[in-house]
Amino acid sequence: MIETAVILKRFEKPDEVRNFDKGKFEIVQIGGITIGRATYEPGWKWSQHVGPTVGESHCCVEHVGLVISGHATAAMKDGVVHDLTEGTLFSIPAEPHDSWVVGNEPYVSLHFVGAQKYTK
């Protein structure tokens, strides 16, 4: 009989934290996958607060995730803007896009695809 271990983790003790102005991206490795939790403060914008640290004007990472709270956008380079609100599952292709928080509440989302590459 092969024994398997149950692994329990929490974002309160992530494996890695990637901090940037007005936000952070917490990483947890579990079950052979990487899951990220993005937390952005009001006024956060990818092209202003993450892009300069990675030398890019737009994010080109694929994202599949779930919005936990708040409101943000996924603004594609062609001008189409998608609203990301609480409870929304999203799949954003690895095409140039920007993102920003809408309103005065923090935005929190979980990322199931793309977390390893995000903010790097």
8 domain residue, yes or no: no
Smallest Cα–Cα separation from 107: which of 21, 50, 43, 62?
A: 43
Q: Structure tokens of 99?
A: 């993102």
Per the structure, how many domains does the chain have? 1
Rounded to whole angstroms, the Cα distance separating 79 from 99 reads: 12
119 domain residue, yes or no: no
Per-residue pLDDT of the chain (120 residues; tens, 9 = 90+): 677 889 999 999 999 999 999 999 999 999 999 999 999 999 999 999 999 999 999 999 999 999 999 999 999 999 999 999 999 999 999 999 999 999 999 999 999 999 998 887
pLDDT of res. 120: 76
Q: Which residue has the tokens 């974002």?
A: 11
pLDDT of res. 39: 98
CB 107 within 8 A of CB 69: yes
Q: What is the pTM of this model?
A: 0.92
118 domain residue, yes or no: no
pLDDT of res. 119: 81
The pairing of beta strand 16-20 with beta strand 97-98: unpaired
- The β-bridge partners of 111 are 36, 65
51 domain residue, yes or no: yes
pLDDT of res. 103: 98
pLDDT of res. 94: 96
pLDDT of res. 4: 81
Q: Which residue has the tokens 């052979």?
A: 32
> For residue 28, what are the domain limits?
16-113
